[in-house]
């Protein structure tokens, strides 16, 4: 991962993203692929329509109608929220697709089917942002908590 630019178009190719000021909007690119550019540090983070409670409700409802029993555990789902709020490329952090469990695949479907989010904002404009949801699933496949 490398820093691509501040939103003001200043180039900072070799800086450590973690050393940058929190009030700056910074885009990074993964694997040198320009299509994977996303903004790390934004003025406003992307948000599910209706906020955290609505997201929890959506997940509870989606999993309650699911035919696959979701195993108890904590799942970290990474995805991109584009500038239009569409979710792209959901994946389970640290796992290749061929090694996913049925539970993990069902959680990815849940994220893929989510409505558009309110996109991240940088300098008063929408930007593509990488997000991660941490879903804690209890017994009987119930969502116990969600954090970002």
Which pTM value belongs to this model?
A: 0.76
Of the candidates 137, 147, 1, the residue with the CA atom closest to the CA atom of residue 69: 137
Task: Render pLDDT for 31-80 as a digit per residue (tens, 0 to 9).
Answer: 444 455 677 778 889 999 999 999 999 999 998 887 788 999 999 999 99
- To the nearest whole percent, how much of the chain has pLDDT over 90? 51
Q: What is the pLDDT of residue 74?
A: 95
Sign of the C-alpha dihedral, residues 91, 27, 113, 52? positive
CA neighbor of 131 nearest in space, from 115, 111, 113: 111
Q: How confident is the model at residue 8 (pLDDT cuts 50, 70, 90)?
A: very low
Range in 4-13, 81-90, 121-130 the model is least confident about:
4-13
Nearest by Cα to 42 from 145, 117, 92, 135: 117
Q: Is residue 6 predicted with pLDDT exceeding 50?
A: no
């Amino acid at each position: 991962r490398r820093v691509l630019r501040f939103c003001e178009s200043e180039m900072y190719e070799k800086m450590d993203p973690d050393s940058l000021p929190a009030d700056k909007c910074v885009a990074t690119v993964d694997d040198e692929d320009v299509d994977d550019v996303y903004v790390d540090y934004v003025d406003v983070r992307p948000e599910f329509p209706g906020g955290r409670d609505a997201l929890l409700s959506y997940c509870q409802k989606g999993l309650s109608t699911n035919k696959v029993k979701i195993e108890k555990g904590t799942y970290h789902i990474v995805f991109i929220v584009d500038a239009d709020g569409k979710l792209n490329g959901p994946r389970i952090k640290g796992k290749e697709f061929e090694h996913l469990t049925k539970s993990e695949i069902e959680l990815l479907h849940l994220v893929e089917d989510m409505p558009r989010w309110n996109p991240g904002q940088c300098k008063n404009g929408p930007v593509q942002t990488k997000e991660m949801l941490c879903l804690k699933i209890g017994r009987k496949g119930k969502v116990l908590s969600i954090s970002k």
